[in-house]
């Protein structure tokens, strides 16, 4: 067996291949989803982003001393049609809803995104995380931390305020969502 920890059997699962957790990142255009993902994957920030219709990312992560693969799909702002909702949301095991602290419109859109997830996943419980980006832009803030906490409470999920530019709380929401998926999954995972 290779000496890499990636191939090491975990004490908990006794498996050789790490589990794969499917995360879907949703949010209005321009909220900083790509910047957050780029920081997570490459630990680097960029001020220039090109719009992509969709993006897939993979990240090898250590969750509580167990290796896992985060399979992350960025669903951009095209979920208006039921076909796209089913196609892009169905495979998701956990959902990260993202808004910008500098955009009231993106914040007000979160309940709509939540409803779209409910339509596809049914009323079953599914792991979700709420992420507020651009927390470093205090002078441009339109959404208070308290408003974010209230929405997270209504949706019964955790809230993370992040800054891709300053690399604040970048990894935490992804790892927290993966843990929620792991902890809510069937025992055969």
Residue 24 in this model has a pLDDT that exceeds 60: yes
Q: With contact defined as beta carbons under 8 Å apart, do 145 and 19 qualify?
A: no
pTM, full prediction = 0.84
Residue 4 in this model has a pLDDT that exceeds 80: no
Q: At what angle do helices 145-155 and 110-121 cross, to 10 degrees?
A: 20
Q: Is the dihedral of CA 168, 174, 180, 183 positive or negative?
A: negative
Residue 14, in any domain of the structure: no
Reported as type and span, the H/E element at residue 120 is helix 110-121
Q: Shortest CA distance to 113 belongs to which of 136, 134, 88?
A: 88
Residue 130, in any domain of the structure: yes
The alpha carbon of 35 is separated from its chain's Cα centroid by a whole number of angstroms, namely: 12
Residue 57, in any domain of the structure: yes
Residue 5 in this model has a pLDDT that exceeds 70: no
Tell me how many domains the chain contains: 1
Residue 116, in any domain of the structure: yes
Residue 7, in any domain of the structure: no
| Domain extent for 116 | 20-183
pLDDT for 68-125, tens place per residue? 999 999 987 655 666 677 777 888 999 999 999 999 999 999 999 999 899 888 877 7
Burial of 60 (0-12, 13-18, 19+ CB in 10 A): exposed
Reported as type and span, the H/E element at residue 150 is helix 145-155
- Please indicate whether residue 173 or residue 75 has the higher confidence score (pLDDT): 173
Q: With contact defined as beta carbons under 8 Å apart, do 51 and 29 qualify?
A: yes
Residue 71, in any domain of the structure: yes
Identify the CATH number of the domain in which residue 83 sits: 3.40.50.300
Task: Give the mean pLDDT of the chain.
Answer: 84
């Amino acid at each position: 067996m290779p000496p890499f920890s990636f191939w090491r059997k975990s004490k908990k699962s006794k498996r050789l291949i790490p589990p794969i957790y499917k995360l879907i990142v949703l949010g209005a255009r321009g909220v900083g989803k790509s910047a957050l993902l780029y920081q997570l994957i490459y630990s680097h920030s960029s001020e220039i982003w090109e719009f992509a219709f969709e993006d897939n990312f993979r990240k090898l992560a250590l969750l509580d001393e167990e290796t896992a693969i985060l399979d992350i799909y960025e669903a951009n702002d095209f979920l208006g049609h039921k076909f796209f909702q089913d196609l892009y949301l169905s495979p998701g095991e956990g959902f990260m809803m993202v808004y910008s602290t500098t955009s009231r419109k993106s914040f007000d859109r979160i309940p709509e995104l939540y409803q779209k997830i409910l339509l596809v996943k049914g009323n079953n419980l599914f792991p979700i995380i709420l992420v507020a980006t651009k927390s470093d832009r205090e002078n441009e803030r339109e959404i208070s931390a308290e408003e974010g906490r209230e929405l997270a409470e209504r949706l019964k999920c955790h809230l993370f305020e992040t800054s891709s530019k300053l690399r604040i709380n970048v990894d935490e929401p992804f790892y927290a969502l993966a843990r929620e998926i792991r902890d809510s999954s069937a025992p055969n995972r």
